């Protein structure tokens, strides 16, 4: 089977993880061009991954190159425009989350693209190996009926370190200007993962706040939800917590009527009727999530199977994001 020709749109920080994932399946797909307004960034990525062509804008790339699909790793503000551009060229599209800056724009885009192109959302948190295993253990019935679940993400990434730097902003400086920050940019991943673990969810209450200096948006959140079976589900996030590590590491607790799951550091445990324990290389898991998404995208294109993170599925996650902001009356 001839390798599919991929055009990458965006050459920022996250694009490196995309390119690593693409480089692992060269017999199935190859990135042949990169488009980014910063040709310096595009050139750096192209040199690092032996990509033969770079362009200053996506439209020029799509006109010049013979492509089978595009991978959108650009800022969220241009996602919808890039998806529409891909549709104009009848290309399959993999688009980084979220599809659009808010639910309304995303819903309009999904309706417009329905039946036109193969479109998948790059939502990769659920592809992290420990969450794949947790979902599989739940599917095996190891915990029985879920009664409660909580995911916590607490870091000091938005507080100044000994050198006066805020690690989260060094890594992703655009966060400073986001009016919708921790929920729309970070916890959106965890909301999606909670949907995978617990099924359809409804937000019942949300409290958002900001304590880090110079941030346009919220840096802490508590979101309360209810699953279809009545299970209580909660998500706690804080990126300006003194004394906590700067690195983002999830903690998860899930209780059923037959067993319990816990994710603590690099270890996933199942206790109760069945005992299991598995440890992970967390750095490897970070990249594995990108690898899993991109491999799944190509699998589905080549077999015609549905996308796990389809646009309709992603709208359910975006609805939770929107409801959290609405119930918290944020911004005030």
331 falls in which pLDDT band (50, 70, 90)?
confident
Contact present, 51 and 44 (Cβ < 8 Å): no
Lookup result for tokens 């937000």: 203
- The pLDDT of residue 162 is 87
Residues 167-186: what's their mean pLDDT?
94
Which of 182, 154, 184 minimizes the C-alpha distance to 247?
Answer: 154
Angle CA 257–259–263, to nearest 5:
130
Please measure the distance between the N-terminal and C-terminal CA atoms of the chain and give it in whole angstroms.
Answer: 55
Report the C-alpha gap between 242 and 202 in whole angstroms.
31
CB atoms within 10 A of CB 125: 20
Assess whether pLDDT exceeds 80 at residue 252: yes
Residues 65-71: what's their mean pLDDT?
98
Q: What HEC string does 7-28 produce?
A: EEECCCCCHHHHHHHHHCCCCC
Tokens of 2: 């001839």
pLDDT tens-digit map of 41-65: 999 999 999 999 999 999 999 999 9
Model pTM greater than 0.75? yes
**CA of residue 116 relative to chain centroid, distance:** 24
If DSSP codes are grouped into helix, strand and coil, which group holds residue 174? helix
Contact present, 192 and 123 (Cβ < 8 Å): yes
Report the C-alpha gap between 176 and 60 in whole angstroms.
31
Q: Is the C-alpha dihedral spanning 141, 303, 289, 111 positive or negative?
A: negative
pLDDT tens-digit map of 117-171: 999 999 999 999 999 999 999 999 999 999 999 999 999 999 999 899 999 999 8
Report the C-alpha gap between 150 and 168 in whole angstroms.
23
pLDDT tens-digit map of 88-109: 999 999 999 999 999 999 999 9
Assess whether pLDDT exceeds 90 at residue 27: yes
Residues 11-18: what's their mean pLDDT?
96
312 falls in which pLDDT band (50, 70, 90)?
very high
Domains defined along the chain, listed by start:
4-122 (3.40.50.720), 126-283+316-328 (3.30.360.10)
Radius of gyration of the chain (CA): 20
Mean pLDDT (the chain, rounded) = 96
- The pLDDT of residue 139 is 98
């Amino acid at each position: 089977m001839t390798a599919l020709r991929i055009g990458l749109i965006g050459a920022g920080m996250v694009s490196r993880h995309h390119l690593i994932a693409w480089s692992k399946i060269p017999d199935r797909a190859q990135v042949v061009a990169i488009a980014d307004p910063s040709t310096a960034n595009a050139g750096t990525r192209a040199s690092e991954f032996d990509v033969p062509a770079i362009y200053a804008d996506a439209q020029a790339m799509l006109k010049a190159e013979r492509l089978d699909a595009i991978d959108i790793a650009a800022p969220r503000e241009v996602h919808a425009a890039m998806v529409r551009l891909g549709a104009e060229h009848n290309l399959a599209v993999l688009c980084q989350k979220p599809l659009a800056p808010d639910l309304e724009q995303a819903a309009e885009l999904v309706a417009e693209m329905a039946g036109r192109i193969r479109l998948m959302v790059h939502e990769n948190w659920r592809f992290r190996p420990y969450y794949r295993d947790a979902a599989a253990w739940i599917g095996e019935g190891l915990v029985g009926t879920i009664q409660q679940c909580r995911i916590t993400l607490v870091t000091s990434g938005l507080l100044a370190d000994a050198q006066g730097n805020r690690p989260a902003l060094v890594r992703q400086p655009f966060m400073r200007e986001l009016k919708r920050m921790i929920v729309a940019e970070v916890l959106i991943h965890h909301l999606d993962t909670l949907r995978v673990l617990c099924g359809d969810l409804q937000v019942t209450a949300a409290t958002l706040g900001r304590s880090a200096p110079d941030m346009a948006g919220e840096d802490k959140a508590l979101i309360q939800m209810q699953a279809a079976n009545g299970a209580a589900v909660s998500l706690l996030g804080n990126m300006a917590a003194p004394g906590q590590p700067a690195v983002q590491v999830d903690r998860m607790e899930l209780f059923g009527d037959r067993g319990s799951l816990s994710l603590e550091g690099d270890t996933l445990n199942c206790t109760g009727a069945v005992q299991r324990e598995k440890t992970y290389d967390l750095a490897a898991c970070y990249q594995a999530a990108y690898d899993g998404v991109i491999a799944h995208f190509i699998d589905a294109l080549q077999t015609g199977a549905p996308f796990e993170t389809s646009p309709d599925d992603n709208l359910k996650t975006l609805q939770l994001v929107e409801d959290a902001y609405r119930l918290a009356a944020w911004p005030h």
